[in-house]
Amino acid sequence: MDRVIYTENLSLSYKNHEPIIKDISFSVHSKEFVFITGASGSGKSTLLKSLYGSMQPTQGKLIVGGVDMNSVTKKKLNFLRRHLGIVFQDYKLIKDWTIERNVGLPLMISGYAKNVIDPQVTKLLTHVKLSHQIGKYPMELSGGEQQRVAMARALSHNPVLILADEPTGNLDEYSSSVIWDLLVGANEQLKSTVVVVTHNIPESLGIPYTHYHIEDGKINEVT
């Protein structure tokens, strides 16, 4: 199987600080569903940041989707990001855009025409059970609904890799289960590789997954 993420002796640190991730090596294969857990401040979100290029490795090797993140150019990084779907705990929706426009953002960036974007957005909003909210702005929706919009945005361009940072951290049980279903659906139907950073792994995910745990800057696979 192809490796979507490859790390070798990877260290990450913030400017003038001790490394938060120390000398780790792991790989994520295509179509794999991966959980990364760890205590608060353990560096799991930092690791995720490095995967979408918001942070450069301090040491070691990091390859995402065939792109070497140590020497990535802005152009290459933009190209890579157009094939990623990113979900955040605080949704990161554009507040003064309607939810349709938010969902269509990755397609707009990829240069699709309006007549391609509109039906895809409607389909996705129906898929995340928000078709009745079309025309509304993010602030008019509940937290769970906003996260579903963020999920729809992450899925809109059939990404190769979905990176989710505590996607259910702020949500109630019902909304959390909807988000897990969407992530599992993306993995099974769209064949996307999924990497989720979380505190809690749902008890019944219904699919096989790989679990890594970060502690003291080191990563270990939990079997």
Q: Contact, 155 vs 85, CB < 8 A?
A: yes
| Contacting residue, 2, 39, 56, 79, with other proteins by CB under 8 A | 79
**Shortest separation between residue 87's beta carbon and other proteins, angstroms:** 11
- Total residues at the site for other proteins (CB under 8 A)? 25
Task: State the Cα–Cα distance between residues 220 and 155, nearest whole angstrom.
Answer: 29
Tokens representing residue 53 in the block: 């290029």
**DSSP for 149-162?**
HHHHHHHTT--SEE
Please list every residue from 138 through 157 that binds other proteins, using CB under 8 A.
Answer: none
CA dihedral 62, 66, 71, 77 (to 10 degrees): -110
Q: Contact, 162 vs 186, CB < 8 A?
A: yes
125: contact with other proteins by CB under 8 A: no
Please list every residue from 98 through 117 that binds other proteins, using CB under 8 A.
Answer: 105-106, 109-110
190: contact with other proteins by CB under 8 A: no
56: contact with other proteins by CB under 8 A: no
Task: State the Cα–Cα distance between residues 28 and 5, nearest whole angstrom.
Answer: 5
| Contacting residue, 9, 25, 54, 131, with other proteins by CB under 8 A | 54
| Contacting residue, 39, 56, 66, 94, with other proteins by CB under 8 A | 94
Positions that interact with other proteins (CB under 8 A)? 52, 54, 74-75, 77-84, 86, 88, 90, 92-97, 105-106, 109-110
